[in-house]
């Protein structure tokens, strides 16, 4: 039996974090590749990059999206949209679609689907690996207050009025609605369906990746003196962290939710290696 820690160790040894060459290092020749039927849980740039790579090496895969985005980016593989209906629904999907492998490339804050994937794969003995990105870490002079949850971050917003860049996406704004004394700057990829729950706020609609220089300008123009962010990691949303470093703006940084230990990698190419190792039981 191949253990989770063994796979995790193998994956950790692989580098770099993206394919070093546009050509796949493993060519999908013959039986092994054709036996794979992958479910790729998506909603991230990592998932799109992996989908492109799977298409290139001709691995059969379906990408699953939650359906939160009205206009998702183009994906070159068959795509299904919407929840599975909890763990049982996912188990049913895996069994009926005869899925052989699951790659969880969801966002680090999408903890529920990740927990469901662990539970469902365990039930039906399908190997699972997570493709994710390293969290950001504070540099020497950064003024970060690390906090475990949205609720804990909101508690830090009692006190006098400030100009806050609330960079947490659309879904958890209500947790901050008690604190109406502040001016909030909000940035969303798409127009929200409901008005933000703040008396004094400005909404920007813009899709990343953003640049450090543009975010320095943004923070200056809006006279931001506090940022609330979640530790998504990766490069797409990092510009505001770098801009805050430059302008010495404090950040309330929400830590990632805890997810049970599972085989995990930051490296797209390692996922391809893992697929071809074709483990039968990861014991996750
Ligand atoms: P979540 O809280 O972990 O998931 C809530 C429910 O949405 C899940 O139980 C599942 O419904 C469904 N779901 C989530 N991801 C799915 C997927 N890839 N395919 C099918 N169903 C999915 O997730 P979330 O935080 O709402 O995020 C939703 C999606 O947006 C994720 O795919 C994530 O990658 C992406 N995203 C999230 C964030 C973030 O900050 N949370 C940021 C960028 C992108 P059932 O229980 O019915 O199966």
Residue spans per domain, the chain: 4-134+258-277, 144-254
CATH 3.40.50.720 for domain 144-254: yes
CA 188 to chain centre: 16
Q: Ligand 1: which of 110, 189, 208 to mutate, most ligand atoms within 8 Å of CB?
A: 110
pLDDT in tens, 38-76: 999 999 999 999 999 999 999 999 999 999 988 888 999
Q: For residues 231 and 148, what is the distance between their CA atoms, to the nearest angstrom?
A: 10
The residue contributing the CA closest to ligand 1 atom 35 is 43
Ligand 1 atom closest to Cα of 232?
A: 40
The tens digit of pLDDT for each residue in 182-223 reads 999 999 999 998 999 999 999 999 988 899 999 999 999 999
**Closest residue by CA, ligand 1 atom 13:** 66
CATH tag for 4-134+258-277 (out of 3.20.20.450, 2.40.50.140, 1.20.950.20, 3.40.50.720): 3.40.50.720
Confidence category of residue 277, pLDDT binned at 50, 70, 90: confident
- Give the C-alpha separation, 201 to 6, whole Å: 49
Distance of CA 257 to the CA centre of its chain: 12
Q: What mean pLDDT do residues 228-243 have?
A: 96
Contact present, 253 and 145 (Cβ < 8 Å):
yes
Residues with CB under 6 A from ligand 1: 41-44, 64-66, 68, 83-86, 89-90, 106-107, 109-113, 116, 169
Strand partners, 147: 254
- Indicate the SS3 state at residue 244: helix
1 Cα: distance to centroid of ligand 1 (angstroms): 31
In the 3-class helix/strand/coil scheme, how is 42-85 assigned residue by residue?
A: CCCHHHHHHHHHHHHCCCEEEEEECCCCCCCCCCCCCEEECCCC
Looking at ligand 1, which atom is closest to the CA of residue 41? 18
């Amino acid at each position: 039996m191949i253990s989770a820690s063994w796979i995790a160790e193998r994956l950790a040894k692989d580098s770099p974090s993206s394919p070093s060459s546009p050509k796949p290092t493993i060519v999908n020749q013959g039986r092994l590749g054709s036996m794979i039927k992958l479910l790729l849980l998506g909603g991230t740039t990592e998932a799109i990059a992996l989908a492109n790579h799977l298409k290139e090496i001709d691995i059969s895969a379906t990408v699953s999206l939650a359906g939160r985005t009205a206009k998702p980016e183009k994906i070159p593989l068959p795509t299904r949209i919407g929840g599975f209906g909890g763990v049982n629904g996912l188990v049913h999907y895996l069994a009926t679609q005869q899925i052989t492998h699951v790659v969880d490339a969801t966002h680090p804050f999408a903890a529920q689907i990740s927990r469901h994937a662990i539970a469902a794969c365990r039930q039906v003995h399908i190997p699972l690996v997570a493709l994710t990105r390293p969290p950001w870490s504070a540099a020497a002079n950064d003024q970060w207050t690390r906090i475990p949850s949205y609720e804990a971050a909101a508690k830090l917003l009692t006190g006098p009025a400030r100009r806050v860049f609330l960079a947490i996406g659309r879904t958890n704004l209500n947790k901050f609605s008690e604190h109406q004394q502040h001016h909030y700057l909000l940035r969303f990829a798409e127009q929200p369906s409901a008005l933000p729950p703040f008396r004094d706020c400005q909404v920007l609609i813009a899709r990343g990746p953003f640049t450090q220089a543009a975010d320095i300008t943004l923070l200056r123009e809006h006279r931001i003196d506090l940022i609330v962010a979640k530790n998504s990691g990766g490069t797409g949303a990092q510009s505001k962290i770098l801009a805050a470093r430059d302008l010495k703006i404090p950040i309330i940084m929400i830590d990632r939710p805890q997810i049970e230990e599972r085989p995990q990698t930051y490296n797209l190419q390692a996922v391809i290696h893992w697929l071809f190792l074709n483990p039968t039981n990861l014991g996750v």
